[in-house]
């Protein structure tokens, strides 16, 4: 995510350095964003403001998102959000999903499509969970040959090379109409 892009509540400047401008609010000695957008620090007028980007939708706690895995790290996955509650979003925001408590090696791979629920926003980072049964991987490919996989209990098996791999699968895995399900 663009580091100049702020989400509501995120710190953009200090009161002793700037005056709060458009789309901001004061919080003790801090100026914070009240909307999503790019930060604009006017050093002549000493005004800190946010240029609103109306096309960006920030998911709320409890919203269900569908996104594409950007990074697959040992204890978390980063997901680029593509749909919020079944509605396509234009500009992408990323959310983080902690996976270290799951006893699986390959929770989700980069480029997998996953369904997740937003659980909180902390310090400008959107956190999501894929713990519930209906959440998790909706679409994945074989890690060895990128072939098509089919579900086998809670794992996937490649139709081409036979490789069996674990994933945190959603109950909706393999259902092509998953985008219409909230």
Main-chain dihedrals φ then ψ at residue 83, nearest 5 degrees: -135, 140
Say how many residues touch Zn ion, by CB under 5 A: 8
145 binds Zn ion (CB under 5 A): yes
Question: Of residues 8, 124, 147, 174, which one binds Zn ion by CB under 5 A?
Answer: 147
- Residue 11 vs 143, nearer CB to Zn ion: 143
All residues at 6 or more sequence positions from 42 whose CB lies less than 8 Å from its CB, including other chains = 21, 48, 49
142 binds Zn ion (CB under 5 A): yes
163 binds Zn ion (CB under 5 A): yes
111 binds Zn ion (CB under 5 A): no
Number of residues assigned to the chain = 182
157 binds Zn ion (CB under 5 A): no
Judged by CB under 5 A, which stretch of 31-39, 89-97, 107-115, 150-158 contacts Zn ion? 150-158
CB of 118 to Zn ion, least distance (A): 33
Question: Of residues 161, 164, 175, 182, which one binds Zn ion by CB under 5 A?
Answer: 161
Q: Are 105 and 166 in contact (CB under 8 A)?
A: yes
118 binds Zn ion (CB under 5 A): no
156 binds Zn ion (CB under 5 A): no
Beta-strand runs (E) in the chain: 5-6, 11-14, 19-20, 24-27, 30-33, 37-42, 47-52, 64-72, 76-84, 87-88, 94-98, 113-122, 125-129, 136-139, 149-152, 155-158, 164-166
């Amino acid at each position: 995510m663009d580091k100049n892009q702020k989400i509501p509540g995120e710190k953009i400047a200090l009161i002793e350095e700037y005056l709060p401008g458009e789309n901001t609010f004061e919080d003790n000695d801090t100026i914070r964003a009240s909307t999503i957008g790019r930060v604009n620090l006017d050093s002549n007028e000493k005004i800190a403001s946010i240029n609103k980007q109306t096309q960006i939708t920030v998911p709320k706690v409890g919203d269900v998102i569908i996104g594409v895995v950007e990074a697959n790290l040992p204890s978390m996955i980063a997901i680029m959000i593509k749909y919020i509650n079944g509605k396509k979003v234009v500009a992408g925001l990323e959310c983080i999903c902690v996976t270290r408590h799951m006893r699986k090696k390959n929770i989700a791979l980069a480029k997998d499509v996953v369904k997740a629920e937003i659980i909180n926003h902390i310090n400008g980072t959107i956190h999501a969970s894929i713990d519930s049964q209906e959440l998790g991987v909706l679409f994945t490919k074989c890690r060895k040959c990128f072939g098509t996989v089919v579900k086998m209990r809670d794992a996937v098996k490649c139709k081409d090379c036979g490789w069996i791999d674990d994933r945190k699968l959603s109950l909706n895995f393999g259902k092509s109409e998953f985008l219409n399900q909230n």
